[in-house]
């Protein structure tokens, strides 16, 4: 019967699990427990049914276990089952237990083979069981079947990780012997969260289905992929036995005979089989609870003191106390400020994966939308040439000139710079609109206080609009600064000085021309300039 002196520990944890399931939360306590993981058709259901000695779990193709099943086994003289969601009813017929599990599963998940992390609590009283609590989790799959969600593999994986990542959780990794152990889904995910194998218990099923001449002796002797808690082999009923309603007691006798008669397992037969697995799990869970109990007790005491302190504060609570109203008001306003800052800076706890928001949209306005607006500023080259020609002629007046006057150049350049005002102001308008949208988004938490939300939005939006005017004035001032002085000495400006320097650098690389070539080149340049002025 396991550790008799510690047998009350498992029922105590069961009561805590029931209490947390009833209130719908775990109070941030990681209760010591055993989670059963494995691929589909690995034999998890058969192992659990062998523990109870009854057929009570749903069976079929695809995903059958679609919600975590917290199975609490209690040693008792009478045999019956109870569900936490209908605790007043005792189930004596275990076919009704199966039907209730299926009905309760579909009540939450629907009939489309979807899954849900909300557990079903089932307590089984029987003289054939040891005190033991197991959490049966959905079998891992790789392909969505029928109308299952396309990401069913990731949903199941995330659900499993919610349980097995906790240090207080032992992992019962069920693997069929007729598949390569290196490809075991159960051992793979267990190794991710328990790389040293300290919390993992290996169960090898379907040993009777291995190819003739092969065995799993190295695995069961813990030589191939060692685990601190070792491996235990079991032989479950075949599908033919299940369909034929073969008695589980007869199946356990056949399992015992298999291990005693098999040449590869007879030397370890006493450490194999379903009864030994149940006894081992009872001992290991009891010891695990004993080891984690001090930390659990310390955490409970800490939370109890915190709750008592909070209750003490509310003993003298008066709804009309102005100090509490002021405190609540300040907290909500401060939270709004924190949320707004996180939304702009991108440092929030939850990241939206569906669309851009807040600071990301503003970033896109600056780096994608604004440059696009600048590129959209097109000009007619023919019209620009005409404007340049008229500007040069108007500056020269009745005279004819040889060189382009600076004043004509500045007039043309300033006319182009002025075109920057429209996209700059449009960019400001877009940013302001996004800021206002972010303000509205962050005030959603104030929905319970409509007047406070309305007033908060009004004040913040008014402030943003005030800053809008000053921002536009500042941008226009920057453009006016650019218009007031054109720096032709800047290295990016290709003017006469830079052109001369580039020409000199290029000439150094060329062979020195003779005097005749220089004269011909000079004459050609002057002729071209004169023709340009006359045109």
Residue 448: pLDDT band by 50, 70, 90 thresholds?
A: confident
Coil, strand or helix: which one is 74?
strand
More confident residue, 55 or 231: 231
pLDDT, tens only, 85-144: 887 788 988 889 889 988 888 888 776 667 888 888 898 998 888 888 888 988 888 777
Residues 376 and 258 occupy one common structural domain = no
Residues 378 and 491 occupy one common structural domain = yes
Residue 202: pLDDT band by 50, 70, 90 thresholds?
A: very high
Instruction: Identify the sign of the CA torsion 160, 166, 171, 173.
Output: positive
Residue 398 within any structural domain of the chain = yes
Residue 209: pLDDT band by 50, 70, 90 thresholds?
A: confident
Query: Does residue 70 contact residue 120 with C-beta atoms inside 8 Å?
Result: yes
**Residue where a domain stops, chosen among 270, 303, 336:** 303
Residues 79 and 179 occupy one common structural domain = yes
Residue 60: pLDDT band by 50, 70, 90 thresholds?
A: low
Residue 112: predicted pLDDT: 67
Q: Which region among 33-47, 131-145, 505-519 has the lowest average model confidence (pLDDT)?
A: 505-519
Query: Does residue 236 contact residue 178 with C-beta atoms inside 8 Å?
Result: no
Q: Specify the length of the chain in residues.
A: 535
> Edge to edge, what strands does the sheet with 80-83 contain?
86-91, 80-83, 120-126, 69-75, 132-136, 33-38, 169-176, 200-205, 231-233
Residue 46: predicted pLDDT: 84
Instruction: Return the axis-axis angle of helices 274-315 and 248-261, rounded to nearest 10°.
Output: 120
Residues 266 and 389 occupy one common structural domain = no
Query: Does residue 134 contact residue 68 with C-beta atoms inside 8 Å?
Result: no
| pLDDT greater than 50 at residue 190 | yes
Q: Which region among 265-279, 390-404, 417-431 has the lowest average model confidence (pLDDT)?
A: 390-404
Residue 433 within any structural domain of the chain = yes
Burial string for 347-385 (b: 16+ CB within 10 Å, else e) reads: ebeeeeeeeebbbbbbeebeeeebeebeeeeeeeeeeee
Residue with tokens 């007039």: 411
Residues 217 and 102 occupy one common structural domain = yes
Best CA proximity match to 189, nearest among 219, 167, 156: 156
Domain holding 193: CATH number? 3.40.50.300
Query: Does residue 206 contact residue 43 with C-beta atoms inside 8 Å?
Result: yes
Residues 281 and 396 occupy one common structural domain = no
More confident residue, 507 or 250: 250
Query: Does residue 216 contact residue 207 with C-beta atoms inside 8 Å?
Result: yes
pLDDT, tens only, 260-280: 998 888 899 899 999 999 999
Residue 400 within any structural domain of the chain = yes
Residue 325 within any structural domain of the chain = no
pLDDT, tens only, 463-480: 988 888 888 898 889 888
Residue 528: pLDDT band by 50, 70, 90 thresholds?
A: very low
Residue 117 within any structural domain of the chain = yes
Residues 103 and 192 occupy one common structural domain = yes
**Residue where a domain stops, chosen among 267, 286, 303:** 303
**Residue where a domain stops, chosen among 303, 337, 368:** 303
Residues 206 and 89 occupy one common structural domain = yes
Q: DSSP secondary-structure letter at 269? A: G
Residue 6: predicted pLDDT: 55
Residue 345 within any structural domain of the chain = no
Residue 415: predicted pLDDT: 80
More confident residue, 158 or 243: 158
Burial class (CB in 10 A: 0-12, 13-18, 19+), 497: exposed
Question: Which residue range forms the structural domain that includes residue 101?
Answer: 12-20+30-303
Could you tell me the pTM of the whole model?
A: 0.58
Instruction: Identify the sign of the CA torsion 407, 411, 417, 418.
Output: positive
Query: Does residue 272 contact residue 256 with C-beta atoms inside 8 Å?
Result: no
Residue 193: predicted pLDDT: 92
Query: Does residue 128 contact residue 117 with C-beta atoms inside 8 Å?
Result: no
Query: Does residue 176 contact residue 43 with C-beta atoms inside 8 Å?
Result: yes
Residue 347: predicted pLDDT: 66
Residues 299 and 360 occupy one common structural domain = no
| pLDDT greater than 70 at residue 226 | yes
Q: What Å distances lie between residue 280 and 91, 220, 276, CA to CA?
A: 28, 15, 6
Residues 66 and 210 occupy one common structural domain = yes
Query: Does residue 64 contact residue 101 with C-beta atoms inside 8 Å?
Result: no
| pLDDT greater than 90 at residue 231 | yes
More confident residue, 347 or 481: 481
Calculate mean pLDDT across residues 473-499. 73
More confident residue, 25 or 310: 310
Number of domains in the chain: 2
Calculate mean pLDDT across residues 381-403. 71
| pLDDT greater than 60 at residue 429 | yes
Coil, strand or helix: which one is 390?
helix
Q: Give me the chain's average pLDDT, please.
A: 79
Helix (H) or strand (E) run with residue 169 in it: strand 169-176
Residue 232: pLDDT band by 50, 70, 90 thresholds?
A: very high
Residues 230 and 359 occupy one common structural domain = no
Calculate mean pLDDT across residues 323-334. 81
Residues 191 and 57 occupy one common structural domain = yes
Report the share of the chain in percent with pLDDT over 70: 80
Instruction: Return the axis-axis angle of helices 450-484 and 421-442, rounded to nearest 10°.
Output: 160
User: In terms of DSSP bridges, do strands 200-205 and 231-233 run parallel, antiparallel, or are they unpaired?
Assistant: parallel
| pLDDT greater than 80 at residue 23 | no
| pLDDT greater than 60 at residue 213 | yes
Residue 499: pLDDT band by 50, 70, 90 thresholds?
A: low
Calculate mean pLDDT across residues 481-501. 66
Calculate mean pLDDT across residues 450-458. 87
User: In terms of DSSP bridges, do strands 200-205 and 169-176 run parallel, antiparallel, or are they unpaired?
Assistant: parallel
Partners of 492 in the β-ladder: none
Residue 267 within any structural domain of the chain = yes
DSSP class per residue in 202-262:
EEEE-GGGSPTT---HHHHTT-SS--TT-EEE--PPPHHHHHTT--HHHHHHHHHHHHHH-
| pLDDT greater than 70 at residue 186 | yes
Question: Around 150, how many Cα atoms within 13 Å sit in the side-chain half-sphere?
Answer: 0
Q: Which region among 170-174, 357-361, 451-455 has the lowest average model confidence (pLDDT)?
A: 357-361
Q: What is the token pair recorded at 158? A: 């995330």
Question: Around 269, how many Cα atoms within 13 Å sit in the side-chain half-sphere?
Answer: 14
Domain holding 467: CATH number? 1.20.120.1240
Helix (H) or strand (E) run with residue 446 in it: none
Residue 335 within any structural domain of the chain = no
Q: What is the token pair recorded at 515? A: 């005097």
Q: Which residues fall within 8 angstroms of residue 378, CB to CB, at 6 or more apart?
A: none
């Amino acid at each position: 019967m396991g550790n008799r002196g510690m047998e009350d520990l498992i029922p105590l944890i069961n009561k805590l699990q029931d209490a947390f399931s009833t209130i719908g939360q775990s109070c941030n306590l990681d209760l010591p427990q055993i989670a059963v993981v494995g691929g589909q058709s690995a034999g998890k259901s058969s192992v659990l049914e062998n523990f109870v000695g009854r057929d009570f779990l749903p069976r079929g193709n695809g995903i059958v276990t679609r919600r975590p099943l917290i199975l609490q086994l209690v040693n008792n003289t009478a045999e019956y089952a109870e569900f936490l969601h209908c605790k007043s009813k005792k189930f004596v017929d275990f076919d009704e237990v199966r039907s209730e599990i299926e009905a309760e599963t579909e009540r939450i998940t629907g009939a489309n083979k979807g899954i849900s992390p909300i557990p079903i609590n089932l307590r089984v009283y029987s003289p054939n069981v040891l005190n033991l609590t197991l959490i049966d989790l959905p079998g891992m799959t790789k392909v969505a079947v029928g109308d299952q969600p396309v990401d069913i593999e990731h949903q199941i994986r995330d659900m499993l990780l919610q349980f097995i990542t906790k240090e207080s959780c032992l992992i019962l990794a069920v693997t069929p012997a007729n598949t390569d152990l290196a490809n075991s889904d159960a051992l793979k995910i267990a190794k991710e969260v328990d790389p040293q194998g300290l919390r993992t218990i290996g169960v090898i099923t379907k040993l009777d289905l291995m190819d003739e001449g092969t065995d799993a002796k190295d695995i069961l002797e813990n030589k191939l992929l060692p685990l601190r808690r070792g491996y235990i082999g079991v032989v479950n009923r075949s599908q033919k036995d299940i369909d034929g309603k073969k008695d589980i007691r007869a199946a356990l006798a056949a399992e015992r005979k298999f291990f005693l008669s098999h040449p590869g397992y007879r030397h370890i037969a006493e450490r194999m089989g379903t009864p030994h697995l149940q006894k081992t799990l009872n001992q290991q869970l009891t010891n695990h609870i004993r080891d984690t109990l001090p930390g659990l007790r310390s955490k409970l005491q800490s939370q109890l003191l915190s709750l008592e302190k909070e209750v003490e504060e509310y003993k003298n609570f008066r709804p009309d106390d102005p100090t509490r109203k002021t405190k609540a008001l300040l907290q909500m306003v401060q939270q709004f400020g924190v949320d707004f800052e996180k939304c702009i800076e991108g440092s929030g706890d939850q990241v939206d994966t569906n669309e851009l928001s807040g600071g990301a949209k503003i970033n896109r306005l600056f780096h994608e939308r604004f440059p696009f607006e600048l590129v959209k500023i097109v000009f007619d080259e023919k019209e620009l040439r005409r404007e340049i020609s008229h500007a040069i002629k108007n500056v020269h007046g009745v005279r004819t000139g040889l060189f382009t006057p600076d004043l004509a150049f500045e007039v043309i350049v300033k006319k182009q710079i002025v075109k920057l005002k429209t996209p700059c102001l449009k960019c400001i308008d877009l940013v302001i609109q996004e800021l206002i949208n972010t303000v509205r988004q962050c005030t959603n938490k104030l929905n319970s206080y409509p007047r406070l939300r309305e007033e908060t939005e009004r004040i913040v939006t008014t402030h943003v609009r005030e800053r809008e005017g000053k921002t536009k004035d500042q941008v226009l001032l920057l453009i006016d600064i650019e218009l007031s002085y054109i720096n032709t000495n800047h290295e990016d400006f290709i003017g006469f000085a830079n052109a001369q320097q580039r020409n000199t650098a290029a000439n150094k690389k060329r062979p020195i021309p003779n005097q005749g070539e220089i004269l011909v080149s000079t004459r050609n340049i002057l002729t071209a300039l004169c023709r340009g002025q006359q045109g």
